[in-house]
Amino acid sequence: MLQNVLESVGLDSQTCAGLLGFNPAVFAEWSAGQRPIPESVLPLLSAVFSVPPSVLRAPAKAARNLREEDITPAIWYKFRGPELVNADRECVVLIRQLGHYLNELEAVTRNRSVQWKTLFESIRNSTDLQAAPREQGRSAARMFREATSLSHGAKGSGEVLRGALRSLGVLVFETPLQESRLEGCSFYVGTQSASRPCVFANTHHVTWFRRNMVLMHEVGHSIFESALVGASLDFLNREDMAEPLELRAQAFAQECLVPKSVLVHVAQSHGIKWANLSGRSLARIVADTHVEQRTVVAAAAEAGLIAADATEELKRIDIISDLHEFSNHALSTEEYLELIGAKNAHEWIGKRSTTLTPRPLRLPVGYVTTVVDAYRDCQISLGKGAEYLMIDDSEFAGRFGDIYQGVEE
């Protein structure tokens, strides 16, 4: 049955074996039904491919009577589209594997984060789904801000955004996918009894300011529809922004990150007059609100702070040089690494990069910290820590030498 599942996903057994860290020959035997899948492996495969263990245990004979649409999970219907490439599907496999590991970690550390369930359900139940999509998004955003740290102080929340989402139990994943047209997506990871929302942003040639909007756009999808449709996908230069679901998600993201109160506070803090907005003052607002220029302008126009007929000109103003002066987040990765120095650069990226996966990933900082803390507290072994970070044992000991020495002693 595993072979049928792989075909429905659109990946071959050799690729999946490499992604999941299994011997390709053994994995091929599992998929062909020539060798039973060990019970210890079933939970991982079930979580990654989103099928019950009973389906994976089924004999090959049973698969002959099933049509592809009977076993293809909703998420993989989404990720088999013609606009997607193998990099997208491989990344999803790895992220779903990470979600499984995170569930195991939280079970071991007895620190399960499920606050998102109550919050998302409360927002859905309190939102008038008959209202205009943009009003639904704004209403949901106000509730989300009120329930999280995003409402603390009338200032930009980009610096605390990822931590706030992690504290709710949301898996936040950002990594470069150069071949992909995906800008962001959202889906749920884990088995049905232990699922969690995951929001993904492609960091390739996308600024930090833009990624903040992408992540919150995907959170909007997660609240309302990702669990129902399998996954929500958003592409670079997408043309479907007039669709109701996209309008709602975009309004949610904008109201979460740049409500009128934040815009007014930032402008007042710097003595900026909206009627005389210059490129430099606009760069200052972008730097302090932590969102991209076009979103700041759109939000200011909707709040009545600038004239609607001035928006297009303001979106075209070149603020790059001033923004570089005001925020390190405006720097490219290469510029930032040069700023912090070679040694710190290794610390910044090196300890988060996988080495055993055929497609290298940059793991979330919070996830790496959770793994290392669990190892330091003797809740997991070195081998398990290395497995969770998708590196080998020697690499784990080398990256976290001080902690390794302390635990060993």
Report DSSP state, residue 258.
-
Question: How do residues 133-160 score in pLDDT, each as one tens digit?
Answer: 999 999 999 999 999 978 777 788 999 9
Range picked from 20-29, 102-111, 295-304, 328-337 for highest mean pLDDT: 295-304
pLDDT of residue 57: 82
- For 108-152, give the DSSP string: HHT----HHHHHHHHHHHHS-TTS-HHHHHHHHHHHHHHHSGGGS
Please, which pLDDT band fits residue 350 given cuts at 50, 70 and 90? low
pLDDT digits (tens, 9 = 90+) for 278-329: 999 999 999 999 999 999 999 999 999 999 899 999 999 999 999 999 998 9
Rounded distance between C-alpha atoms, residue 29 and residue 296, angstroms? 55
**pLDDT, tens digit (0-9, with 9 covering 90-100), for 41-76:** 999 999 998 888 888 887 766 666 677 777 788 888
In contact, 190 and 104? CB cutoff 8 Å: no
pLDDT at 360 over 80: yes
Mean pLDDT, rounded, for 340-357: 69
Q: At residue 362, does pLDDT exceed 90? A: no
**pLDDT attached to residue 341:** 61
Handedness of CA 384, 385, 390, 394 (dihedral sign): negative
Measured CA to CA, the distance from residue 332 to residue 58 in angstroms comes to 50
83-106 mean pLDDT: 92
Q: Average per-residue pLDDT in the chain?
A: 88
pLDDT mean over 262-267: 95
| pLDDT given for residue 347 in this prediction | 59
Residue 49 exposure: Cα atoms within 13 Å on the Cβ side: 32
| pLDDT above 60 (res 91) | yes
Asked if pLDDT for residue 406 goes beyond 70, the answer is: no
Q: Is 271 exposed, middle or buried (0-12, 13-18, 19+ CB in 10 A)?
A: exposed
Q: If you average pLDDT over residues 399-406, what whole number do you get?
A: 67
DSSP assignment letter at 186: E
Provide the edge-to-edge strand list for the sheet that holds 231-235. 171-175, 196-202, 182-189, 231-235
Is it the case that residue 83 has pLDDT exceeding 60?
yes
Total count of residues recorded for the chain: 409
**pTM for the structure as a whole:** 0.91
- Spatial distance between the Cα atoms of 94 and 74, rounded to a whole number of angstroms: 18
Other beta carbons within 10 angstroms of residue 377's beta carbon come to 11
Q: Could you tell me if 286 and 300 are in contact, meaning their C-beta atoms sit under 8 angstroms apart?
A: no
Residues 355, 48: Cα–Cα separation, whole Å? 20
Q: What is the pLDDT of residue 348?
A: 55
Q: What is the DSSP secondary-structure string of 41-53? A: THHHHHHHHT--H
Lowest mean pLDDT among 195-204, 327-336, 344-353: 344-353
